[in-house]
C-alpha cells in the first residue's frame, strides 16, 4: 500500500553566508532590524517538505503518494519527479499560480533564515483525500496550507489511517485550539526542539498533557539525535555520524522518511527512529534536499554499523 505524503512541493533557493548571523544581528537592535548578508553562492533546487520526504522514502524502496498543488511553472520539476519514479497522480497544477518557493540563507554555524512564498500551496486543500482512489495505511501531514493541514488531519484520523502530524514551519499559523485539534488522536507528533517549545507555548498544554493526547511524540535535536516517547518513558536516539557534513537542509525530511518506512514495514518504534537517524546522516552529506543517491543496501550497512541488524 502507498504512503500518503501531504505537504509542500516547492523550489528552494539556497544561499550560503560565510559568516555568523550572531556577529551581524545585534540583540538590542532586533526591534529595528535592517541587515544584509553577502551570499557568494546560490543554488536553485527542487524541494518542499512533501517532495523531500517522498524522495528519501523512494530511495528506501517505499511507494510515496504525494498530494499537493503546484503552479503553472512546474514542468521541469514534474520531469524530475518522473525521472526518479515518484508518482504525481495527485499533484495538481493550478493555472495562474506559482509553485511555492523557499529562500534559505545558512550561516557558518548552520543556523538558517528562511523566507517562504506559498503560491499554489495555499490552495492545496483543493486536492481532497476523497479524490485518492487507492488504499492508504499511513499518512503524514507536513507543512502546507493551513486549511489543508487541518482537513487532511481530520480525514486521516476519521479513516483510521496511521496519522503522523509534522507541523514544522507551518506551526505558527495555528491558534492554540487548532494546534490541539491537530495533536488530538494522532499516532505521531513530530517536531524539532524549537517547535516543541512553541507547541507548549501555543497550545498551553504541558508535556504530559500533549503526550496523553497522541500515541508517539518525537523531538529531533539536530546533531544530538532525537528524543521520543511512546507512552512508556522517554528514549534517546543518537545521531548517526556522516562521512562528511556539507549541508543540514532537508535532514529532518529524510529523518521522517526513514521513520515512515519503518512503520510501513513493521519495525519497532525504536528501529523506526534509528532508521530515521540513518537517513538524516545521508542527507547532511549532500547539498540540496533531494540528492541522496544511496540505495537500500547502503542504508542497511550504515544502520547495522551503528545499531543492530535491520529486519527488512
Residue from 12, 229, 247, 253 carrying the catalytic annotation: 253
Please give the full DSSP string across the chain, using - where no structure is assigned.
Answer: -EEEEES--EEEEEEE-SS-HHHHS-GGGGGG--------EEEEEEE-HHHHHHHHHHHHT--EEEEEEEETT-HHHHHHHHHTT-EEEEEEEETT-PPEEEEEEE-TTS-EEEEEE-GGGGGGGGS-GGG--S-EEEEEE-S--HHHHHHHHHHHHHTT-EEEE--GGGGGGS-HHHHHHHHTT-SEEEEEHHHHHHHHHHH---HHHHHHHSSEEEEE-GGG-EEEESSS-EEEEPPPPPS-----TTHHHHHHHHHHHHHHTT--HHHHHHHHHHHHHHHTTSSSSS-----HHHHHHHHHHHSS----
Catalytic status, residue 253? yes
- Residues with a catalytic annotation lie at 253
Amino acid at each position: 500500500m502507498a504512503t500518503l505524503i501531504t505537504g509542500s512541493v516547492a523550489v528552494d533557493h539556497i544561499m550560503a553566508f560565510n559568516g555568523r548571523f550572531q556577529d551581524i544581528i545585534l540583540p538590542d537592535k532586533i526591534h529595528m532590524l535592517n541587515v544584509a548578508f553577502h551570499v557568494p553562492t546560490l543554488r536553485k533546487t527542487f524541494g518542499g517538505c512533501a517532495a523531500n520526504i517522498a524522495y528519501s522514502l523512494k530511495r528506501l524502496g517505499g511507494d510515496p503518494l504525494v498530494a499537493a498543488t503546484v503552479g503553472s511553472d512546474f514542468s521541469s520539476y514534474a520531469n524530475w519527479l518522473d525521472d526518479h519514479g515518484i508518482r504525481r497522480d495527485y499533484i495538481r497544477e493550478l493555472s495562474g499560480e506559482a509553485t511555492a518557493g523557499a529562500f534559505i540563507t545558512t550561516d557558518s554555524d548552520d543556523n538558517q533564515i528562511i523566507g517562504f512564498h506559498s503560491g499554489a500551496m495555499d490552495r492545496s486543500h483543493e486536492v481532497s483525500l476523497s479524490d485518492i482512489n487507492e488504499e492508504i495505511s499511513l499518512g503524514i501531514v507536513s507543512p502546507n496550507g493551513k486549511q489543508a493541514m487541518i482537513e487532511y488531519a481530520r480525514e486521516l484520523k476519521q479513516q483510521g489511517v496511521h496519522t503522523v502530524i509534522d507541523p514544522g514551519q507551518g506551526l505558527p499559523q495555528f491558534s492554540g485550539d487548532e494546534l490541539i485539534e491537530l495533536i488530538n488522536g494522532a499516532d505521531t507528533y513530530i517536531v524539532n526542539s524549537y517547535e516543541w517549545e512553541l507547541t507548549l507555548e501555543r497550545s498551553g498544554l504541558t508535556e504530559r498533557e500533549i503526550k496523553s493526547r497522541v500515541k508517539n511524540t518525537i523531538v529531533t535535536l539536530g546533531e544530538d539525535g532525537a528524543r521520543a516517547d511512546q507512552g512508556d518513558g522517554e528514549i534517546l536516539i543518537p545521531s548517526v555520524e556522516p562521512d562528511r557534513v556539507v549541508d543540514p537542509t532537508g535532514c529532518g525530511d529524510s529523518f521522517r522518511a526513514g521513520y515512515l518506512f519503518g512503520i510501513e514495514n513493521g519495525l519497532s518504534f525504536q528501529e523506526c527512529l534509528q532508521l530515521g537517524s540513518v537517513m538524516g546522516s545521508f542527507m547532511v552529506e549532500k547539498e540540496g534536499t533531494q540528492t541522496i543517491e544511496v540505495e537500500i543496501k547502503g542504508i542497511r550497512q550504515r544502520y547495522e554499523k551503528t545499531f543492530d541488524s535491520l529486519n527488512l
